Amino acid sequence: MLNRSGGTKGGWVSTTVVIGIDLGGTDIKGGLVAHDGRVLERRIVATEAFGGPDHVVGRIIALAQSLRESAASRGIEVAGVGIGAPGSISSREGMIVSPPNLPRWDRVPVVEPVRSAISLPISLENDANAAVLGEFWRGAGRDCDDVAMLTLGTGIGGGVMLGGQLWRGRFENAAEFGHMIVEMNGVACKCGQRGCLEAYASATATAARATDRVWRGEASSLKTLLDRAGALTARDVVEAASAGDSLAAQVWDETCGYLAVACVNLQHVLNLERIILAGGMSAAGVPLLDGVRRHFDRLMWPDVGDRPQLVLAELGNDAGFIGCAYLALQAAGGERVGVA
């Protein structure tokens, strides 16, 4: 069992180093990570998704090989590779099922081709799970065994750790927080349901709600921005809200309210110690945290002490590959001590 503090419990040696790789639709981030979570080196290459699955798997292999060579030049041997991939994956079969941001990918084997090219143990995980593992190990979830993370971007994803273990679920689709229904008969979500959290509280939905109201002729400083840029972002909304724009403040407050609904529901189901807000929209910082906390306190049971800490993620774009490294360490440690 991996000791999160980076100690030697469970057969670890102090020089163990692994490679974490985070595959995204635009780029592939990779890092050489020590047993204690220190990032010794990080690299980023373009995914070149237009080249198709074989080409991209080849780029993953090349990135892993270059990181391994770099380790070798320092006299360090790499113990394994962890790969995080978008969308549904089958960790049991070692394949990526059908990622929404990698068109033409359908049940693409990843583990086997990478393993046969570089002859190291390979782990595969969904990128949202990888990110929560990263925060759990070395970020906002450290020192905490029951933690959920909501990743707020163009969509809403997440991950959950219970009793210090990643919870994947029977069909490996746990923690699809963006598709919790927060409005019965609400607006259509692109997943086919109605009233999903993602359709109200993602960065995309936040920007769209503000845009819609400005188009309808409501007064707002956002109108000038919309006329000039042709589109609004969630960042525009939170900045205008912070500058005192009342429409923007209402839209932002609604977003925080829906996120608080999700957090209250998660708390009642899972009884968490901490809920981490991550992803691009978490860059909003205090206005996000304060808004969600205010609604959370309003909605949650009064006078009950078992409340989660609501915090911001700490590792940014590094969370994914650091979490993949954690998986690779677990796999390597498991082999060393003979544990599955």
Strand-pair category, 108-109 with 122-126: unpaired
Closer by beta carbon to Zn ion, 62 or else 191: 191
* CB nearer Zn ion, residue 76 or residue 191: 191
Our finding on whether 34 is near Zn ion (CB under 5 A) is no
Residue number, 33 or 189, with CB nearest to Zn ion: 189
Q: How many Cβ atoms from other residues are within 10 Å of residue 198's Cβ?
A: 26
Taking the least distance from each CB to Zn ion, the nearer of 188 and 219 is: 188
83 and 113 in contact (C-beta within 8 Å)? no
**Cβ-contact 67, 29 below 8 angstroms:** no
Q: Kindly state the smallest distance separating residue 11's Cβ from Zn ion, in Å.
A: 43
- Least distance to Zn ion from the beta carbon of 195, Å? 8
Least distance in angstroms from the C-beta of 263 to Zn ion = 18
Phi, psi (degrees; rounded to nearest 5) at 277: -100, 120
Q: Hey, what long-range contacts does 22-25 have (CB within 8 A, 24 or more apart)?
A: 22/84, 22/127, 22/130, 22/320, 22/321, 22/324, 23/47, 23/56, 23/60, 23/83, 23/84, 23/85, 23/86, 23/127, 24/86, 24/101, 24/127, 24/320, 25/49, 25/86, 25/99, 25/101, 25/102
Minimum CB–partner distance for residue 236 and Zn ion (Å): 24
* Nearest distance in Å: CB 201, Zn ion: 12
Toward Zn ion, which CB reaches closer, 40 or 191?
Answer: 191
174 versus 191: smaller Cβ distance to Zn ion: 191
In sequence order, the 6+-apart residues with CB closer than 8 A to the CB of 303 are none
Contact 155, 191 (CB under 8 A): no
Residue with tokens 């219970």, as numbered in its chain: 162
* Smallest distance, Zn ion to C-beta of residue 172, A: 18
Question: What residues contact residue 337 under an 8 Å CB cut-off, 6+ apart?
Answer: 10, 11
CA-to-CA distance for 202 and 176, rounded, in angstroms? 13
Binding positions for Zn ion, 126-185, rule CB under 5 A: 179
Span between the terminal Cα atoms of the chain, in Å = 10
Least distance between Zn ion and beta carbon 258 (Å)? 13
With respect to Zn ion, which residue has the nearer C-beta, 130 or 196? 196
Name the residue nearer to Zn ion (CB basis): 172 or 176: 176
Q: Given the complex with Zn ion, which of 189 and 214 has the nearer CB atom?
A: 189
**Cβ 155 to Zn ion, closest distance in Å?**
9
Cα–Cα distance, 237 to 254 (Å, whole number): 12
Query: Minimal distance in Å, beta carbon 183 to Zn ion?
Result: 11
Full strand arrangement of the beta sheet holding 89-90: 89-90, 95-96, 108-109
User: Which residues in 186-245 contact Zn ion (CB under 5 A)?
Assistant: 189, 191, 193, 196
**CA neighbor of 155 nearest in space, from 194, 200, 192, 188:** 200
Q: Under the rule (CB under 5 A), what is the footprint of Zn ion?
A: 179, 189, 191, 193, 196
